[in-house]
Structure 1
Amino acid sequence: MNFRDELQKRILIGDGAMGTLLYSNGIDNCYEELNITHPDRIETIHSAYLEAGADILQSNTYGANYYKLKRYGLEEEVSTINRKGIAIARKAANGKAFVFGTIGASRSFRKSDLDLDEIKRCFREQLYSQLIENPDGLILETYYDLEELEMVLKIARNETDLPIIANVSLHETSYLQEGIHLNEALLRLEALGADAVGVNCHLGPHHMIRSLEEVPLPKKAFLSVYPNASSLPEYVDGRFVYEAVPDYFGYSAVNLRNQGARIIGGCCGTTPNHIAAVKKALGNIAPIKEKKIIKRKVEVIEVAVKETKKGLYEKAKLERTILVELDPPKKLGIKEFMKGAKALHKAGVDSITLADNSLASPRISNVALGTILKKEIGSEPLMHITCRDRNMIGLQSHLMGLQTLGLNEVLVVTGDPSKIGDFPGATSVYDLSSFDLISLVKQFNEGLSYSGKSLGKRTNFKIAAAFNPNIRHLHKAVERMEKKIACGAQSFLTQPVFSTSQIEDVYEATKHLDTPIFMGIMPLTSTRNAEFIHNEVPGIKLPDTVRKAMASAGNDPIKARAEGIAIAKELVDAAAERFKGIYLITPFLRFELTEELSKYIREVDNKRVVELTANEQ
């Protein structure tokens, strides 16, 4: 049989899930390793799908790449596992079904986990291993990220003339996670040479049918559909169970055929019984040659109300802009905090920045304090958002809440790991990296959630990011900075610096960038404080002159304060010559220190204006 010829003539039935059957039998580790350790189990499942009526058997190699196998210490077995996977499927098929090598996506929703070069290396190794065994074709499946799928499809098409099925996965009906419509995605895959293009996983038959209703028949390729047994699995006794009955799945297959599907199989939750139901329901029914498209009304995304007030990043491009970090209290009661906030506001601070449980210690919610600051003193706070405490769901909800409250200035940071805080046993979530979260906020500004679903309105967040100059190779930090700019960062706040030469180095390394930088300065409070930072804070080393100056104050708090302020003013002077943005970090809620520095900055600036005016006259 020739796959392409058969696809022209009839509907081909794919197989169902492999992992579902293994999972139901108590296997909950690396399924692909079974190609080596228990090939008979895999062959038995293939044979069951063949007997159920499958025309295409997929190799048990979905996650058999270097990156995923490394989790199990199997990274050196990539070639063996992939070759065995094809061979086992070939033996089970016995010439009665096509054998396709399966290659799944490497990226999850955390795009930053793997860059494209790493994915290319992983994909090529897996691809070449499978091609050695001469499969009848390849199936690229469960790709949420279209960029990744397009890249690997190009590689595969350049390396082989075998038939290729390319399937994307949807978070929402009809749309990929970047907001790309399914039809556009399939057209792009068809143009890259895929023989069949379509959808698999995450959604059940109902939502896949609705998605295909908006997709015309491809001109060259054919449609491929592998739904889950149902959209919503049930969680029973610690396990996910799909309750959709095979008859419903078979009935749905007829509706998928009516939408032009030429390959119909099953994904998560499906079993040989589901595939047998598809075979029975379809019988010898012919594929359709034309269809009507349902054009659903596109939801209009409202443009956010344009603000006349400049964002902090816009202001910092033109004039002196002062940010002061004031940590939310660890205990209930905000009297002292509000006293400090009002004093700083009066001193001419442009924004008070509110950390998000800094040092992984619980504090009063910065959202609550930000709302109070905005209401009571008219201040526009800069809200820190960490990746540590909220999963993908929580982060999106948090962003929608901030937009609703009008708290639109945000600083995206990774967040200190839980193990360094008050509760070292607490879970650090990190569903997203700082790069991913910056991209998500940018996507919110385009009116789209991560899944690609419309938010109804565009948000108007101003996106700041963190920049740490306290590393051995400054150019590496600048490279990370440039990557964050590409993701959507509009300004940067640095970690505290303690030498004028370091400020000069940062200026020289970043002067090619148009993105405003707020230079971080934190006044020292005592020699003990200085020694702690120097010896116990990773990456920060204080100059000997600074340590000696603080030591000279001994245990006298008045002298220590004066010395700390003097050092900070010297740093402020150096930073102000090169950067319009200054970021003062308040130590231990000692707001009188940053209040004095804020006044100093304004006084110096005013003095310069007077001098310039006098010179002009």
Structure 2
Amino acid sequence: MKKHPSHAALKSAADERILIIDGAMGTMIQRYKLDEDGYRGVRFKDWHRDVKGNNDLLVLTQPQIIGKIHEEYLEAGADILETNTFNAQRISMADYGMEDLSYEINVAAAKIARAAADKWTKQTPDKPRFVAGAVGPTNRTASISPDVNNPGFRNVDFDELREAYKEQVRGLMDGGADIILIETIFDTLNAKAAGVATLEVFEEKGVELPIMISGTITDLSGRTLSGQTPEAFWYSMRHLRPFSIGLNCALGAELMRPYLAELAAHADARVSAYPNAGLPNAMGEYDETPHDMACAMAPWAKDGIVNIVGGCCGSTPDHIREVAEHVKAYKPRKLPNIEPKMRLSGLEPFVHG
């Protein structure tokens, strides 16, 4: 199977400098204060369910807004744009009765991001911009029961996830994504389904894109929601041979550091990190200023534990601009030489030898 040209270009860029991934999409969409009609647009004005809050739909009804947000992040210094597709698989879209729009939304989202990235790459050819097709965790979990009275119950199975993810990845690739980003992983089994789906679509199309993986440490337990430590999580996902492994969401930069350091010590892939702008306040809003967030992240770069940085919930182009400025003087983390051993993962890692 041939590798997509983005493999070489992404590796070259990552060898030169710490790469910048963009910030929050939802935070920026909220600034537009769209009402129900704003989400519906003309095409869905008579849709039988409320659609306000379906941010992924905006690539069809308000593409100019999504394109403008992408451009703002590029202007702020982003090397990698995420498509507006966090919930754009049919499992999550079922909440709005829009399952059958999944493929179309992913194609449209990738095309919008592609156009913005290509525009900026043309202006500065020595600094290529990349489009990461964002693949979120869905609103269901394959390894945890939603019913406390029935721990064996599951509201989704592996094959349902796999098929939904395949449809999404096809759309992202057909729209022009350079990278597949499996992100905000709270359940490793969901992520494994996304990984299998991604590899199957690569086989279908005869071309392989770089894969980025980003998990979520949900609290100070230092584990994902499904119970894994960062090291165990890495061993669970290493078979995908990802370009990067990292963490995003849930925590602010200060609290994320020890878990990033754990990944950096054990992963022979690049390490990414895009934390929230601090922790939400009583109103659910994020108060960490761009300067404070950047100052908290700069030591990661100085200490050589990251290759890719950006922002998640609450972050804006101003946050990304400050982060880019604060890390530009530092070299990217060097990939370690990991001694070959048998490395297994449960909730904890097991290393033999």
After TM superposition, the score normalised by the length of structure 2 is 0.77
C-alpha displacement at 1:219, in angstroms?
Answer: 5.1
* Structure 1 residues 347-362: aligned runs within 5 Å: none
C-alpha displacement at 1:191, in angstroms?
Answer: 2.9
C-alpha contact 1:200 1:267 (8 A) present in aligned 2:
yes
**Number of equivalent positions:** 289
Match of 2:198 in 1: 156
* Structure 1 residues 152-231: aligned runs within 5 Å: 152-160=194-202, 161-173=208-220, 174-218=222-266, 220-230=268-278
2-structure distance, mates of 1:218, 1:8? 19
C-alpha contact 2:109 2:175 (8 A) present in aligned 1:
no
Equivalent position amino acid for 1:125 in 2: E
Equivalent position amino acid for 1:100 in 2: A
C-alpha displacement at 1:23, in angstroms?
Answer: 1.9
1:115 aligns with 2:157: yes
Match of 1:253 in 2: 297
1:98 aligns with 2:130: yes
1:42-89 per-residue CA deviation (whole Å, 9 max, x = no partner) reads 001000000000000011011011111121222221111110100100
Equivalent position amino acid for 1:278 in 2: V
* Structure 1 residues 501-512: aligned runs within 5 Å: none
After TM superposition, the score normalised by the length of structure 1 is 0.45
Match of 1:31 in 2: 55
C-alpha contact 1:205 1:252 (8 A) present in aligned 2:
yes
1:196-238 per-residue CA deviation (whole Å, 9 max, x = no partner) reads 01111111111111212333445531111110111x21233xx
1-structure distance, mates of 2:288, 2:171? 36
Q: Taking structure 1 as reference, are residues 9 and 241 closer, same or farther at Cα in structure 2, changes over 3 Å only?
A: same
Match of 1:61 in 2: 85
C-alpha displacement at 1:22, in angstroms?
Answer: 1.0
* Structure 1 residues 290-301: aligned runs within 5 Å: none
Higher RCO, 1 vs 2 (CA within 8 Å, ≥6 residues apart): 2
* Structure 1 residues 174-573: aligned runs within 5 Å: 174-218=222-266, 220-230=268-278, 232-236=279-283, 240-257=284-301, 258=303, 260-289=305-334
Match of 2:168 in 1: 126
1:444-500 per-residue CA deviation (whole Å, 9 max, x = no partner) reads xxxx9xxx9xxxxxxxxxxxxxxxxxxxxxxxxxxxxxxxxxxxxxxxxxxxxxxxx
1:352-379 per-residue CA deviation (whole Å, 9 max, x = no partner) reads xxxxxxxxxxxxxxxxxxxxxxxxxxxx
Match of 2:14 in 1: 7
1-structure distance, mates of 2:264, 2:130? 27
Q: Quote the RMSD (CA, aligned, Å).
A: 2.1
Equivalent position amino acid for 1:8 in 2: D
Q: Taking structure 1 as reference, are residues 192 and 202 closer, same or farther at Cα in structure 2, changes over 3 Å only?
A: same
C-alpha displacement at 1:130, in angstroms?
Answer: 1.3
1-structure distance, mates of 2:247, 2:163? 25
C-alpha contact 1:234 1:242 (8 A) present in aligned 2:
yes
C-alpha displacement at 1:41, in angstroms?
Answer: 0.2
Q: Percent identity?
A: 30
The structure with the larger Rg is 1
**Structure 2 residue matching 1:201: 3-state secondary structure:** strand
2-structure distance, mates of 1:76, 1:151? 20
C-alpha displacement at 1:138, in angstroms?
Answer: 1.0
- Structure 2 portions without partners, runs of 5+: 1-5, 35-51, 122-127, 146-153, 203-207, 337-346, 349-353
Partner residue of 2:27 out of 2, 20, 30: 20
C-alpha contact 2:234 2:267 (8 A) present in aligned 1:
no
**Structure 1 residue matching 2:271: 3-state secondary structure:** strand
Match of 2:148 in 1: none
C-alpha displacement at 1:259, in angstroms?
Answer: 5.2
C-alpha contact 2:166 2:200 (8 A) present in aligned 1:
no
**Structure 1 residue matching 2:180: 3-state secondary structure:** strand
- Structure 1 portions without partners, runs of 5+: 292-447, 453-617
2-structure distance, mates of 1:129, 1:210? 36
Match of 2:39 in 1: none
**Structure 2 residue matching 1:224: 3-state secondary structure:** strand
2-structure distance, mates of 1:36, 1:216? 39
1-structure distance, mates of 2:331, 2:259? 22
2-structure distance, mates of 1:15, 1:36? 21
Q: Taking structure 1 as reference, are residues 73 and 184 closer, same or farther at Cα in structure 2, changes over 3 Å only?
A: same
